[in-house]
């Protein structure tokens, strides 16, 4: 069941893709695995952002719904590895795909991860680890 997570976390290090995935040719901070109907994609982006996590949640939701006409928000929940500082929103897309947008807002920046997989396919644990690395504050 797709979930959308909203939680707080983040450290802002260099983005790493999911373990075992291949970098997408010609794209920065983007990885892929599988092929054809089983293809999955993961992307990472950091931008200037002067709002709260709630502001970012609204922006992410609006952006997805405008970019993917017919998409449906399934839900939003705190990102379990770093609750309170990051979140994940889950959408179904027209054409049979599941989209999960992970996001965190801190230090006047936003961090977003985008994970697209075939509808009904289980989430790859390597993606959760990559999202945690991108979204959660590393103690130190």
User: Residue 16: what pLDDT?
Assistant: 79
User: Residue 15: what pLDDT?
Assistant: 64
Angstrom distance (rounded) from CA 123 to CA 2? 9
User: Residue 137: what pLDDT?
Assistant: 65
The DSSP 8-state label assigned to residue 58 in this structure reads H
Q: How far is CA 105 from CA 20, 22, 43, 88, in A?
A: 28, 27, 17, 12
- Domains of the chain, each with CATH number or no CATH: 5-9+41-135 (3.40.1000.10)
Q: How far is CA 58 from CA 36, 82, 89, in A?
A: 32, 19, 10
Mean pLDDT per block of 10 residues along the chain (140 residues) reads 34 69 92 93 94 93 95 93 89 94 92 95 94 75
Q: Give pTM, 2 decimals.
A: 0.85
């Amino acid at each position: 069941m797709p979930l959308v997570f909203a939680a707080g976390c983040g450290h802002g290090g260099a983005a790493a893709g999911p373990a075992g995935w291949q970098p997408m040719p010609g794209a920065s901070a983007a990885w892929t695995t599988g092929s054809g109907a089983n293809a999955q994609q993961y992307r990472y982006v950091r931008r200037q952002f002067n709002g709260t996590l709630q502001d970012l949640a609204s922006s992410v939701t609006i952006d997805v719904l405008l970019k993917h006409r017919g998409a449906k928000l399934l839900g939003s929940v705190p990102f379990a590895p770093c609750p309170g500082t990051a979140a994940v929103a889950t959408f179904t897309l027209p054409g049979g795909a599941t989209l999960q947008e992970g996001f965190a807002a801190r230090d006047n920046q936003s961090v977003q991860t985008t994970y697209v997989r075939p509808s009904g396919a289980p989430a790859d644990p390597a993606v959760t680890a990559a999202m945690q690395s991108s979204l959660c504050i590393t103690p130190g």
